[in-house]
Structure 1
Amino acid sequence: DILEWDPNDSVVRGKYDQVQFEVRKAKRPNYYDIIGCSRVASVPEIKRLYKDRARELHPDKHDSEEVKAWAEERFKLLGEALGILTDELMRSLYDEGHDKESIQERVDAANRAARKDPREEQRRGGHHHQHDH
């Protein structure tokens, strides 16, 4: 029975994680399509295309409530696309197949690691000798 696999089995766990990753990858929005650029577009090019798209999609430009709701959703995705595709770390994670949540988890972890100041460690664990004069 497929439901009775051992969660400690690293091979099965690895396959399960890979399937989950592929499912999330398939569901994520295509930020390159949303912006309307190629996968090798430069940051200035992405920003320029973003501005063009933002003008077209701005919810205030539409009268019908239905179209306005659609435009708001696309506008939100457009902002996400800009944020991810103009950040080097986020873009490389996205290109590897990570979705927004997965990218955010990794960025948060990297920020936490960067905040751990090595000097803190020295103060706590290092030996400090005081000399009496």
Structure 2
Amino acid sequence: MGKSILTVDDSASIRQMVSFTLKAAGYSVTEASDGVQGLDKAKTGHYDLILTDQNMPNMDGLTLIRQLRTLPAYRSVPILVLTTEAGDTMKMQGKAAGATGWLVKPFDPQKLIDVVKRVIG
């Protein structure tokens, strides 16, 4: 199996689209419905990439990124934010929190695959 990706989004339809797109490209995908569940899954598994939404209940994406960056296993793992937030201020906050990159919804499946390949191969 290919590289392992954790996708965190409160929208089931977005999670399904992301999973379908990435699995079709040969990646192994695990889904989480919010930042709390994403953090739990990250602590119990190992992922080559984490893809997270920003606006979610329980724990937002930036908080999730900050929490992940405190864990030795995720200090250098790429984290991409996939969100409807397109403002420069939010992107700068993402970069400050430790995000590797920023993608805006709705996403183009081929662009998502291209970015993932560039980040983790």
Higher share in strand: 2
Larger radius of gyration: 1
Higher share in helix: 1
What TM-score does the superposition give when structure 2 sets the normalisation length? 0.31
